[in-house]
Structure 1
Amino acid sequence: MVEAAMADTCGNKNKRFNIGAGKANGAGAGDGDDTEDEECDVEVWDTLRYSFKKAQAVLDQNRELIKKVKENHQSKIPDNLVKNVGLIREINGNISKVVETYSGLSVNFSDTVRQRKKIGNRKVENRRS
């Protein structure tokens, strides 16, 4: 679902991001070489897509584990209730994986924005020279 939405908007996002990056650095849209920006955008979108897919897979697994916990709880069979302890631990571990994925995504995205800002600032400085 996330991948389809990203694929639909990738072209528009790239265009807006390039224009926004230029304005943020004091440059107008369209002046300078956009090839590097477009390659960076593809890398950024690929990273986002990968991270969201990874997180979604873990969340889907948790959904199934939660269903099983609910079934076990409703059955009131002692062995099933004991199994829930392990299932709940697995769910908690998966939540940690999702947090790590989103944390890594946040760091990567912030680093990319900083790098772009530096590149944009260098382009502006080079034009002034």
Structure 2
Amino acid sequence: MEDVVFSCTGNGIQVDRKVVQTLQKNFVQVQNILDQNRLLINEINQNHESTIPDNLTRNVGLIRELNNNIRRVVDLYADLSSSVTTSMEAFSEGESNNANQSDRRDGQKRIRSS
């Protein structure tokens, strides 16, 4: 797969295709987990309001599942942050190298042969 750099007009941000794909994948995973959490929270609330002992006991497992899901979301956001940071550092290094090469070329004088 070729490395393609996307350039956002107006703000000068360039993003690698792999980073965009990682962002999309992680955001989809996060949204799926958050949707699942909404269902868990609704079920936990219903069980709590019912005051039936078995439902209250079931809440223990549901709350554990909810906590695990929250940990997964935090991990996914940490991965996103790391991916973006790594990409931006690589981009900055590339920009710095390009600027240095350009400076070296600009500083060279042409010598005319007689």
Instruction: Place the TM-score, normalised by the shorter chain, in its bin.
Output: 0.7 to 0.9
- TM norm structure 1: 0.70
Higher relative contact order (CA 8 A, sep 6+): 1
What amino acid is the match of 1:65? Answer: L
Matched, 1:16 2:9: yes
- TM norm structure 2: 0.78
Of Structure 1 and Structure 2, the greater strand share is in 2
* 1:80 aligned partner: 55
- How many residues get paired? 99
Of Structure 1 and Structure 2, the greater helix share is in 1
Q: Offset of 1:87 from its aligned partner?
A: 0.2
CA distance in 2, matches of 1:100, 1:81: 29
- Using the TM superposition, name which of 78-87 and 66-75 deviates more: 66-75
Q: Which runs of 5+ in 2 are unaligned?
A: 1-5, 105-114
CA distance in 2, matches of 1:98, 1:56: 9
CA distance in 1, matches of 2:7, 2:49: 49
**Sequence identity (%):** 36
CA distance in 2, matches of 1:109, 1:51: 12
CA distance in 2, matches of 1:15, 1:96: 32
**Paired residue for 2:20, among 42, 45, 54?**
45
* 2:107 aligned partner: none
Q: Which runs of 5+ in 1 are unaligned?
A: 1-12, 22-36
Q: Offset of 1:43 from its aligned partner?
A: 2.2
* 1:63 aligned partner: 38
CA distance in 2, matches of 1:94, 1:123: 43
